Structure 1
Amino acid sequence: MTQLPAALNDPAWNDPAWLHGATAFTTVRTRYGQPLLWTAHLERLRGTCAFLGLPHPDPAPPALEAHPWGLLRVTVTPHGTLHMHRPLTPGPRPDQGVTVRVTDMHIHPQLGAHKTGNYLPYRLAASQAHPHFEGWLQDAGGHVVDGSRTAPLLEIGGALVVPEGGLPSVTRAAYLMGRPHDTRPIHPRDLGHVTRAWLCGSGTGLVPIRRIDGHTDDLPVHWPAPGDAVFGWPEEV
């Protein structure tokens, strides 16, 4: 057994905010230093801060490096708002779509609607789903509700469907604005009726799913907004 390094034994690191994940965060795509969908991200972050009893996040985005594509992580702790900004370089676009797997990991019944530092179920889902692009988590009732790093959007019977439960995705909500859609519980057995599907997230935009492992054959691959700054894949410049 190795003794805890002195640097990690500092009281700052022993704060419950870090030890127990008592933080709120959001991840925002940026374009040449401009945060996209900032107002929606801030509104969701405020809701999580209120739920956790954290201070309000700083309302204005920080000054950022002008990366062609960037990812801004804003974290709120009991001591204030912190940020980290890095280039967003996910590599070549997966033109043929991606595959996903339904894992046996479950979201937390209270925390699943919030983006908090308590992130272990999502990391375990991603690990269990490897080598698939994404792993989906379930709720206590066995319904598919969320992804380890993206949010699912399904097409069933020609209609867009948002699985009920999980984190309210800012990217998905922005895409669905003005588009008819339904929100309802989705059981794994319903996945066999999916005709098209996408993953939604700040880091990926909207990515078409080629196959839901064990539930569908190959699905039609459609990139709904390939050139859009919010919904497209962040191509290298």
Structure 2
Amino acid sequence: MRDAKLPIDDRGLAYGDGLFETVLVRDGQPLLWDYHMARLDEGVERLSLPRPDFTAFDALPAQCGPGLQVLKLMLTRGSGGRGYRPPEPGELRWRWTASPFQPSPERWFEGVAVRCCELRLGIQPRLAGIKHLARLENVLARQEWQDDSIAEGLLCDSHGDLVEATTMNLIWLRRGRLETPLLDRSGVRGTLLSALDDAVELHWVREDLDTLLEADAAWLLNSVQGVWPIRRLDDACGNPLKQWPPAVDCAIQRIAHRRLGYPLNPGD
């Protein structure tokens, strides 16, 4: 059902008891659709939600309209239960909406400034990787800065290990290897990150901020925005920690943008 309101007793609204996906759609064609549906399927299994008819979702992208759109699909456990105790059996509720989208090409080619967040992500392996509705940690982290020149904030977990940015994944190049944080304790395994993992040799590592400062280049990425090179990293107080030159060839951006239909060079 499109844009329908949720009742006040919906468990997704009350407890974050559900999942969502945000899918880039170009002229009615979804990008990375199989990866989105695979992550949604895993989330349904992890949360023990009533299993949806996934074929019902296949018709949604064509209803999004022309041009670039972002399709948001949300699943909840529905209503019922007693307090935190879920209903047995539950009745899945799902809603969707589509919004026009305009990417930021200057961030693809000029890079972005990023800061470190003070907030630390909690460790919960059962929720790691999936895109559940309980995103309060990300909301609190995003409240830490209001400067529009800062594009994103990097998040570590409570052990001090790098995880992700508030809405994007992180990859860096160090000693000739492409590395990305392990997402087995917290964070979201993005669909573009999964697609790149199938296309190039990514090394999944558990490392702290000092490792990132050793990197020769670093990028942020997700399936809507594409790939942003990081040009400057600041600490939580705005003090510069690292600057990267713009000259590093970005093979991962070329691969990713081909998948998303984004330009490979300025002016394309």
Coarse TM-score class (shorter-chain normalised) = 0.7 to 0.9
> What is the aligned counterpart of 1:149 among 167, 177, 181?
167
CA contact (8 A) 1:198 1:207 kept: yes
- Alpha-carbon separation, structure 2, partners of 1:68 and 1:231: 12
- Number of residue equivalences: 226
CA contact (8 A) 1:32 1:66 kept: yes
Range with greater deviation from structure 2 (124-133 or 221-230): 221-230
Equivalent residue letter for 2:122? H
- Alpha-carbon separation, structure 2, partners of 1:32 and 1:164: 34
- Alpha-carbon separation, structure 2, partners of 1:203 and 1:130: 22
1:228 paired with 2:258, answer: yes
1:216 paired with 2:249, answer: no
Change over 3 Å in CA distance of 1:130–1:183 after alignment to 2: farther
1:102 paired with 2:101, answer: no
Once superposed, what is the RMSD of the aligned Cα atoms?
2.4
CA contact (8 A) 2:73 2:94 kept: yes
State the shift of 1:129 in Å: 4.2
> What is the aligned counterpart of 2:206 among 170, 176, 185?
185
Equivalent residue letter for 2:211? D
Q: With structure 1 as the length reference, what TM-score do the two structures score?
A: 0.85
Give aligned-pair identity as a percent: 26
**1:12 aligned residue:** 7
1:75 paired with 2:105, answer: no
Change over 3 Å in CA distance of 1:183–1:170 after alignment to 2: same
- Alpha-carbon separation, structure 2, partners of 1:228 and 1:209: 20
State the shift of 1:145 in Å: 0.3
- Alpha-carbon separation, structure 1, partners of 2:222 and 2:29: 17
1:37 paired with 2:32, answer: yes
CA contact (8 A) 1:73 1:84 kept: yes
- Alpha-carbon separation, structure 1, partners of 2:73 and 2:37: 9
CA contact (8 A) 2:11 2:17 kept: yes
CA contact (8 A) 1:143 1:185 kept: yes
CA contact (8 A) 1:45 1:57 kept: no
1:84 paired with 2:93, answer: no
- The C-alpha deviation readout for 1:111-153, integer Å capped at 9, x for no partner, is 3422111111112222214431111111121111011111111
Equivalent residue letter for 1:158? G
> What is the aligned counterpart of 1:115 among 131, 151, 154?
131
Aligned pairs for 1:161-176 (under 5 A) are 161-165=179-183, 166-176=187-197
> What is the aligned counterpart of 2:140 among 108, 121, 124?
124
Q: Which runs of 5+ in 1 are unaligned?
A: 1-9
State the shift of 1:218 in Å: 3.1
Equivalent residue letter for 1:174? A
Q: With structure 2 as the length reference, what TM-score do the two structures score?
A: 0.76
**2:87 aligned residue:** none
Range with greater deviation from structure 2 (185-194 or 56-65): 56-65
Range with greater deviation from structure 2 (179-188 or 211-220): 211-220
> What is the aligned counterpart of 2:106 among 81, 93, 102?
93
- The C-alpha deviation readout for 1:58-84, integer Å capped at 9, x for no partner, is 413213233321111111112322211
- Alpha-carbon separation, structure 2, partners of 1:140 and 1:46: 28
